[in-house]
Amino acid sequence: MTSAPADLDESHEAVELAVGTGEPQRVGRFRFYTEGQRWEWSENIERMHGYEPGTVMPTTELLLSHKHPDDRQQVAAVLERVVNGEPFSSRHRIIDTAGRTHWVIVIGDRMVDEAGEIIGTSGFYVDYTETMQSDISAAVSKMAEGRAEIEQAKGLLMAAYGISADRAFDILVWRSQETNIKVRDLARRFVAEMTGGLAADTRARVDHALLTIS
Q: Which residues contact 102 (CB under 8 A, 6 or more apart)?
A: 48, 93, 94, 95, 96, 127, 129
Q: Which residues contact 54 (CB under 8 A, 6 or more apart)?
A: 1, 2, 3, 4, 43, 46
Per-residue pLDDT of 14-40, as tens digits, reads: 444 434 444 445 788 999 999 999 999
Greatest Cα-to-Cα distance within the chain, rounded to the nearest angstrom:
92
Q: Residue 7: is its pLDDT beyond 60?
A: no
CA pair distance 51, 53, nearest whole angstrom: 6
Dihedral angle, C-alpha 133, 135, 138, 140, nearest 10 °: -70
- Check: CB of residue 50 under 8 Å from CB of residue 43: no
Instruction: Return the closest-CA partner of residue 6 out of 34, 47, 42.
Output: 42
Instruction: Give the domain ranges of the chain.
Output: 27-127, 146-212
- Check: CB of residue 117 under 8 Å from CB of residue 34: no
Confidence class for position 12, pLDDT limits 50, 70, 90: very low
- Check: CB of residue 135 under 8 Å from CB of residue 169: no
The pLDDT value given to residue 14: 41
Confidence class for position 182, pLDDT limits 50, 70, 90: confident
Helix (H, G, I), strand (E, B) or coil at 165: helix
Q: Residue 131: is its pLDDT beyond 90?
A: no
Confidence class for position 11, pLDDT limits 50, 70, 90: very low
Q: Does domain 27-127 have CATH number 3.30.360.10?
A: no
Half-sphere exposure of 47 (CA within 13 A, CB side): 13
The pLDDT value given to residue 54: 92
Helix (H) or strand (E) holding 107: strand 101-112
Q: Which residue has the higher pLDDT, 87 or 140?
A: 87
Per-residue pLDDT of 111-123, as tens digits, reads: 888 888 899 999 9
